[in-house]
Structures are given as C-alpha cells and as structure tokens.
Amino acid sequence: MKETDTRESSAINVIAQGTQIEGSIITNGDCRIDGIVKGNLVSKAKVIIGRTGKVEGNVTCANVEIEGAIRAESLMVNELVFLKATANVVGNISAGKIAIEPGAEFSGNCKMNNQRNAAAPTPQQPEKR
C-alpha cells in the first residue's frame, strides 16, 4: 500500500494544449496546465502553468511556476510563486516567497507569509504578584 501512495503522490498530471476542463481539480501530485482550466485547482505539490496554459479559478498549492495566465480571486501558495516573463496574473497572491521575472504582468495584491516570524515564540509577560 505504501508503494501505491508513493507512486500516486509523485505522479504528474498534465492538461495538454487544446484540452479544456470545466470543474475543480484536486490532486496530491504535481500538475502541469498547458490547456484551459475553468475551475479551482488544489494541489499539495507543484503546479506549472505553461505558456499556453490558462486557469480561470482559485489556485492553492505548495509551489507554482507561471508562464501562462491566471484569473482568480486568490492564489494561495505555501512556498514559492515564480512568475516567468510571459506570465499574466490577475488576482490576489498569498505566498511564502515570490519571484518575478522582468516582463511578467501582475494585477492584484500580494501578501507575503513570513514563516520566520510565525514560528518565533512570543515574549512572555511577567506575572503580576
């Protein structure tokens, strides 16, 4: 059973150019979009939006590399958002880190989740006697 789980989580899901999917996608593995997805995309791994790829819906994942287009209310990424020079993103980004190549287009708000401060303990208040 463990071998099946490993294979499943390491599988790469590909939506090829010329393919259009209407509906949400939920996966544990990596996902590459070269076609069109009209719906939300949730992955516990990396998502790649290829140059011809287009997503019209919210994206939640561990990492994302964008060459194509995303139109979403929210793009929630635990680790790294990488916008390549051909990327066109409209929506709000919440991410651990973001990298933007010159030429990439982004319209929206960006919130960086500072993991270092979140993990730091809060100072204790002295007890009153």
- Say if 51 falls within a structural domain: yes
Range of the domain at 15: 9-114
- Say if 88 falls within a structural domain: yes
pLDDT value of residue 86: 98
Distances (CA, A) of 6 to 3, 32, 47, 79: 5, 19, 18, 22
Q: Which parts of the chain have pLDDT scores under 70? A: 1-10, 114-129
Instruction: Report the residue count for the chain.
Output: 129
127: which DSSP letter? P
- Say if 127 falls within a structural domain: no
22-54 tens-digit pLDDT: 999 999 999 999 999 999 999 999 999 999 999
- H-type helices in 2-114, by residue range? 2-10
Name the nearest CA neighbour of 71 among 46, 54, 95. 54
pTM of structure? 0.80
pLDDT value of residue 121: 46
- Say if 35 falls within a structural domain: yes
Number of independent structural domains in the chain: 1
- Say if 15 falls within a structural domain: yes
Name the nearest CA neighbour of 91 among 78, 103, 106, 102. 106
Number of Cα atoms under 13 Å in the Cβ half of residue 60: 9
- Say if 126 falls within a structural domain: no
- Say if 129 falls within a structural domain: no
In angstroms, rounded to a whole number, what is the distance separating the alpha carbons of residues 80 and 62? 7
- Say if 16 falls within a structural domain: yes
